[in-house]
A and B are shown apart, each in its own frame.
Chain A
Amino acid sequence: MLLPLPIDLLIGAERAGQFINARVRALTERDWIPESLAYEMVCTGVLDGDPWTLVDAGQRWLPRDSAPDEVPAELYVVHRRGAQVLLEDEYGQRATYPLAALYDTYYLHTWHWSHEDAPAASGEGP
């Protein structure tokens, strides 16, 4: 039996698969990384809660227990552009950060899916 990925619980298994496949395609098409390695990288990133892998528009990230007290209490992802992410804090203030800023400090808490859903496979639609 396949165990659910952490993001399955946030956006559902179908959207999680769509997200993972899109990340894998970016690695194989834009950096010519072999597909097997790309899947390994993306799935490891998902399981580790890695912001480089996970960050996407519509997410809410909260501080880890180990985060310093002075960091914003919540961050919303407005959009992601490459290694940069535009974040909005709990007071509505926006700032552009590198993805590295979330690493080891925040974790993905909520995800309001902002993409079109992939069409259902033939015979499996509603």
Chain B
Amino acid sequence: MTLSATCPRLTGTGRATVARIGCGLPGWGDYALLYATALDADGRLTATVAATDPALLAPDLGLHQPLPHAPTHGERRPLLQYAAAASAPQGSEPAAAYQRRLATQVLRTGHAARVAGAFAYCHDLPAAVWDVEDVQETVLSTEKHGAGYAGHHLVRIGRLLSVTAKAG
């Protein structure tokens, strides 16, 4: 079974949650993070989590203001690089399991923004269009445990290029 794959770029439409997320690690800034989900052709749940420096996105998304008690600069390094910096492999953890764990942590960060409800640094866009590049796909489902966190089969993690809210 292929655990991960990469694809260069994808465009998505539909409901999206955008939030400003601090990394909480010395030397790391804040991300503007997008979280969206969709069902694939087989009815399996797929999440897209993508991030970039908030300054690179349109100001009308409301993510340019720094978080309180957090660094003021944006972060441009890949999300999975941050996840790896925040969480090292545990003992003899197999590479595939480690990658699934990192992808799940990124997924859970996006999902926590989704279920938090709107506030100053987090907005739910009922209809939006987004572009993502450098996408890494990780299959979260396993034969032993079934679907991954919150029923997700797959998570796509990449660099957010743009997100635009559309009129409902």
Q: What is the chain B residue whose CB lies nearest that of A79?
A: B68
Question: Judging by beta carbons under 8 Å apart, are B87 and A100 in contact?
Answer: yes
Which of A12-20, A91-99, A106-114 faces chain B? A91-99
Say yes or no: is A1 at the interface (Cβ < 8 Å to chain B).
no
Which of B55-63, B107-115, B136-144, B153-161 faces chain A? B107-115
Say yes or no: is B32 at the interface (Cβ < 8 Å to chain A).
no
Question: How many residues of B are in contact with the other chain, CB < 8 A?
Answer: 32
Q: How many A-B residue pairs have CB under 8 A?
A: 82
Residues of B within 8 A of A94 (CB): 69
Question: Judging by beta carbons under 8 Å apart, are B87 and A52 in contact?
Answer: no
Question: Judging by beta carbons under 8 Å apart, are A98 and B22 in contact?
Answer: yes
Question: Judging by beta carbons under 8 Å apart, are B69 and A33 in contact?
Answer: no
Give the bracket for the number of chain A residues in contact with chain B. Answer: 20 to 34
Question: Judging by beta carbons under 8 Å apart, are A83 and B112 in contact?
Answer: yes
Instruction: Report the minimal beta-carbon distance from B84 to chain A, rounded to whole angstroms.
Output: 12
What are 23 of the A-B contact pairs (CB < 8 Å)? A27-B150, A31-B111, A33-B150, A82-B19, A82-B113, A82-B116, A82-B119, A83-B108, A83-B112, A84-B121, A94-B69, A96-B24, A96-B67, A96-B70, A97-B22, A98-B24, A98-B86, A100-B86, A100-B105, A100-B108, A100-B109, A101-B86, A104-B87
